[in-house]
Amino acid sequence: MEMEGLDYTYNLTIIDSYPEPLEAGGMNSYSLFQCIVYVIEAILYMFITTAIASDRNRYQTTFWFTLLNFSITYIALNLLRYFGEVHVVIYNESNKSLCHLVHFLNSAVNDGGEMAIILICVDLIVQNLMSERYENPKCKMFTLILIFVTWLLIIIKEIIFRKHSEIEFLCYQSNPPFVLWGDLVFTILRILMILAAVGVLLYIAQASGQPASVLVGLLGAPILVGFVLCFSTLLSAINYTVSLVNLQSPETLYMCSYYIRMFCPLIIALLWLVDNNFRASIKRLITCSTCRETGLQPTEHEMTTDIA
């Protein structure tokens, strides 16, 4: 039931709104700062992806697939955000085809970044609860299919939403009510899925009976990353909802969401250092000359748990 007098018209740019409006063709300190942050984060994830790809033998195959999917997605996410800043916000390009493409890719990859941690958690759940079936050809194929289907569903959702969106002056996007509220519903659904996956990992850790130091090194990173993504996404969802209803969110809420979303990839990259294998891969890449002399270290396998 619609509230009388409530205006559902809502304009969004490719990046979150800015604390200070930009003049056409201009640049303020916020846009420049974001460009620098996104470039740094993209380079960081390129380094991470190189470390994971070059240390293939340290990981079990299916987990390696999901971890690479995660790191490559965050490379794309930061490059797209940088591209959006430069070509859509700073230069205010009004080409509608370009604007639709950037809106589409940014939204799809952002959703894919949140779904990637769910895929990692699912892999770890299978790895620990069904260890006898893990790493067989069917399990590997299932992981690849799950990654493919996840991206396919994200793309289909974005195609439907973009089909009903309009690009207006200076690359602002105007969406009908069902797109705005539908996007909010999918955001809440992703938060619930992340919490469910992290909850199962916490149950596995509690039921394993292993020392906390061991559990942190094996399961701590995806659990922490899941909680950070939930908090960041929830804060953005609250800011988004308040904006839909009031057309202007409180400044404190907006600024918190603005900076947390900007630095979230950097925080996530640092949290992955909690993982034993990931930390070893980074160390191996940094000290690659030593590794060539000593050879590969024995593969460290993940914890397996037999829960009655």
User: What pLDDT sits at residue 170?
Assistant: 63
pTM here?
Answer: 0.79
**pLDDT, tens digit, 9 for 90 and up, residues 89-129:** 666 655 677 777 888 888 899 999 999 999 999 998 888 88
298 has pLDDT over 90: no
> Given this model, what pLDDT does residue 224 score?
93
User: For 140-159, what is each residue's pLDDT tens digit?
Assistant: 888 899 999 999 999 999 88
Q: Where are the alpha helices (H) located in 55-136, listed in sequence order?
A: 61-84, 96-129
- Which of these, 232, 217, 233, lies nearest to 275 by C-alpha position? 217
* pLDDT in the model for residue 1: 37
Domains of the chain with bracketed CATH: 23-289 (1.20.1070.10)
Residue 181 has pLDDT above 90, yes or no: no
Give the number of other CB atoms < 10 A from CB of residue 17. 14
pLDDT at residue 299, rounded to an integer: 46
Q: Is there a contact between 112 and 151 (Cβ–Cβ < 8 Å)?
A: yes
